[in-house]
């Protein structure tokens, strides 16, 4: 179908695939009340993890992604649901409030230097924002051995997660 706007194709993502070990990392993990340096492996030790990379807070994809995950009740699954963007902990606290996630267990990693997206092979260089890169939207379901059970990353910009597929993977891992 011919559209009168441009969807930008991104380079092929180079993220870890299903069956591979999710790279461990440590970043401030933000709740509604505080933030604390936390490792991915500390989370997987206590349960499977749904990891959601998203554009910086305030960009409409961040808003839509969290509205959708909230409305689908992702928090009700017995799994750690965590986001990650380049936004600061202060901005993450605002997102949790604005997206009405404060009553949930959903938490957000803050990675302003974008090193985790680098590690996961899903960097999106932003045209027109000098010096800023961020993760492209990407979703991973990671089990308690830190093995990836589901992986998806955007191949165009903008592109949204396949929520049905993501949710099915979350359901399956419980």
CB 66 within 8 A of CB 96: no
Judged by CB under 8 A, the number of residues near other proteins is 9
4 forms part of the interface with other proteins (CB under 8 A): no
How far from the centroid of its chain's Cα atoms is residue 105's Cα?
A: 15
Instruction: Please report whether residue 35 would count as binding other proteins according to CB under 8 A.
Output: yes
According to the binding rule CB under 8 A, does residue 160 interact with other proteins?
no
Angular region, 55: left φ>0, alpha ψ -120 to 50, beta rest: beta
Site for other proteins in 111-130 (CB under 8 A): none
When asked if residue 6 is in the footprint of other proteins (CB under 8 A), the reply is no
Cβ atoms of 122 and 152 within 8 Å: the answer is: no
Query: Can you read off the two tokens belonging to residue 163?
Result: 């929520």
Residue 16 touches other proteins, criterion: CB under 8 A: no
CB of 108 to other proteins, least distance (A): 14
**93 lies in the binding site for other proteins (CB under 8 A):** yes
């Amino acid at each position: 179908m011919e559209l009168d706007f441009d969807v930008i194709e991104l380079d092929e993502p180079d993220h870890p695939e299903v069956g591979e070990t999710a790279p461990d990392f440590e970043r401030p993990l933000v709740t509604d009340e505080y933030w604390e340096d936390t490792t991915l492996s500390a989370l997987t030790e206590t349960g499977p993890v749904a990891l959601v990379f998203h554009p910086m807070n305030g960009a409409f994809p961040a808003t839509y992604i969290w509205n959708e995950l909230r409305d689908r009740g992702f928090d009700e699954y017995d799994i750690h649901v965590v986001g990650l963007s380049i936004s600061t902990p202060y901005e993450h606290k605002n997102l949790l409030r604005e997206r009405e996630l404060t009553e949930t267990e959903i938490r957000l990693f803050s990675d302003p230097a974008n090193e985790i997206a680098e590690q996961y092979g899903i960097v999106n260089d932003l045209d027109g924002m000098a010096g800023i890169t961020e993760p492209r939207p990407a979703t991973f379901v990671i089990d308690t051995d830190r093995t990836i059970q589901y992986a998806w990353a955007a191949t165009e910009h903008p592109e949204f997660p396949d929520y049905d597929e993501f949710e099915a993977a979350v359901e399956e891992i419980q």
